[in-house]
Structure 1
Amino acid sequence: MEEEYFRKKFPKLFEEVKSNQAVYSVGGIRWSELVREELTNPDVFSFLRRCDTDEQGLEIIDYLERRGELEKKVADDLRQQIKANGIRSLGSKKEWGYYERVYR
């Protein structure tokens, strides 16, 4: 019953699913908004990925929490993750020149 309903309601999609040959080429991805946001308004992870040590990461979390840019619950979760798994568990290190390499 469900298959028949699906076939009647969405005939083209039904054919595509049954044929198992759905192929779509992607002409491109729009990065401009994401890039602009990362470059002009970095988030906590952008800052933490620049840290060399767990202590630096904890210091950044404390600072952002004091400024009201990070909620206590989020700050506590990040601290717990750093203490349990280390600063690199939040992402690979952004070395000097990262933005120039990635966005140029």
Structure 2
Amino acid sequence: MADTYRINDFKKKYPHLAREVLEEKDISLKLSVNMGFSDPWSGYTPTVVDYIRRCKSLEEAFEVVDYLVNHGELDAREGEQLKAILERNGIEYFGGRKQDDYYYKEAKRYWEKIFKQIPGTH
């Protein structure tokens, strides 16, 4: 994990860098830190199956499919195929229902695992 400094300590330890970063007004600075791991949810876009798995009823799943078709996020033919699968097999066909806090719990589990691997964070 990165070191943390008070501003005065930072100025003492890195006087030239501190002057550049803290005193010059006409520069911009962008810092990137590679932590050695990436966020699996960064840029993640749920699929139609993700949406279906959050539905509580078949009717709700049909509404989701219709919504995605009407907003151009799903092809009409694919929408009809999905509705046929839903009609024939039910919403359980796509897997168990994802609870409302599913992604929160998954992210929490992931970050707890990561932080256990970083010295001094557990």
Q: Which structure has the larger Rg? A: 2
Asked if Structure 1 and Structure 2 have the same fold, meaning a TM-score greater than 0.5 normalized by the shorter chain, the answer is yes
How many percent identity over aligned positions?
29
Q: 2:85: which partner in 1?
A: 81
Q: 1:54-73 alignment to 2 at 5 Å? A: 54-73=58-77
Gap change, CA 1:55 and 1:101, over 3 Å in 2: same
Matched, 1:32 2:36: no
Superposition RMSD in Å:
1.7
CA displacement, residues 44-97 of structure 1 (integer Å, 9 cap, x when unaligned): 112111101111000110111001100012111100100000011112111122
Which runs of no fewer than 5 residues in structure 1 stay unpaired?
A: 1-29
Q: Which amino acid aligns with 1:32?
A: D
How many residues align structurally? 72
Structure 1 stretches of 4+ moved >6 Å = none
TM-score under structure 1 length normalisation = 0.62
Residues 89 and 31 (structure 1), Cα distance of their counterparts in 2 relative to 1, 3 Å cut = farther
Q: When you count helix as a share of all residues, which structure comes out higher?
A: 1
